[in-house]
């Protein structure tokens, strides 16, 4: 009887491990190829095209070519510590308004054009959301250009970014991390 219980426990454990190892994680985003910083006056600009990263559950509910398009604008000289984020919301809002004033005093984003390579694929013109600069802090803000479909054959965009599209399987407990933006 004892060896039968051990065999059943071993079979149940093996089946459970097999089911857990069948978890699928999918990633779809663009990452910069070049490492050179883009600066405008005293601001650092970082483009981000992001659909999902290490999303659990294969293709269920994932829109394959739907990307959120943003450009983060940072104060290149800022050295904000984690403790500085603990200020009162009214203080952060005041500093964020001052930072927004500095940014818009230097430039205003009226549109963003995604050029696809090869050039025959056409271009995608995006207009920014000028009302919601978020998240807004004392040393950065995000210019949101909404969401767009980027066709599957396109591998590269100008600003030297390449598509990362991967799907992996494995045990949930052994995943290194689940990330958002890079």
User: Is the model more confident about 45 or about 178?
Assistant: 45
Report whether pLDDT(27) > 70.
yes
Residue 180: pLDDT band by 50, 70, 90 thresholds? Answer: very low
Return the percentage of the chain with pLDDT > 90, whole number: 8
Q: CA 114, CA 111: separation in Å to the nearest integer?
A: 10
Report whether pLDDT(170) > 60.
yes
Number of residues that make up the chain: 182
Residue 108: pLDDT band by 50, 70, 90 thresholds? Answer: confident
Task: Provide the whole-model pTM.
Answer: 0.69
Q: CA 49, CA 110: separation in Å to the nearest integer?
A: 18
Report whether pLDDT(89) > 60.
yes
Residue 61: pLDDT band by 50, 70, 90 thresholds? Answer: low
Write the CA distances from 154 to 29, 39, 118, 119, 128, integer angstroms: 12, 27, 8, 10, 23
């Amino acid at each position: 009887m004892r060896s039968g219980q051990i065999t059943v426990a071993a079979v149940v454990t093996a089946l459970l491990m097999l089911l857990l190892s069948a978890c699928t994680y999918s990633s779809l985003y663009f990452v910069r190829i070049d490492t050179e910083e883009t600066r405008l006056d005293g601001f650092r600009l970082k483009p981000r095209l992001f659909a999902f990263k290490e999303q659990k559950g294969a293709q269920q509910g994932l829109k394959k070519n739907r990307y959120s398009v943003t450009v983060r604008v940072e104060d290149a000289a800022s050295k904000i510590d984690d403790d500085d984020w603990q200020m009162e919301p009214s203080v952060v809002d005041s500093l964020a308004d001052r930072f927004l004033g500095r940014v818009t005093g230097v430039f205003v984003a009226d549109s963003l054009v995604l050029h696809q390579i090869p050039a025959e694929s056409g271009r995608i013109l995006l207009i920014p959301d000028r009302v919601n600069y978020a998240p807004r802090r004392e040393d950065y803000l995000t210019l949101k250009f909404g969401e767009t479909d980027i066709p599957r054959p396109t591998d590269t965009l100008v600003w030297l970014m390449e598509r990362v599209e991967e799907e992996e399987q494995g045990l949930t407990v052994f995943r290194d991390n689940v990330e958002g933006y890079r």
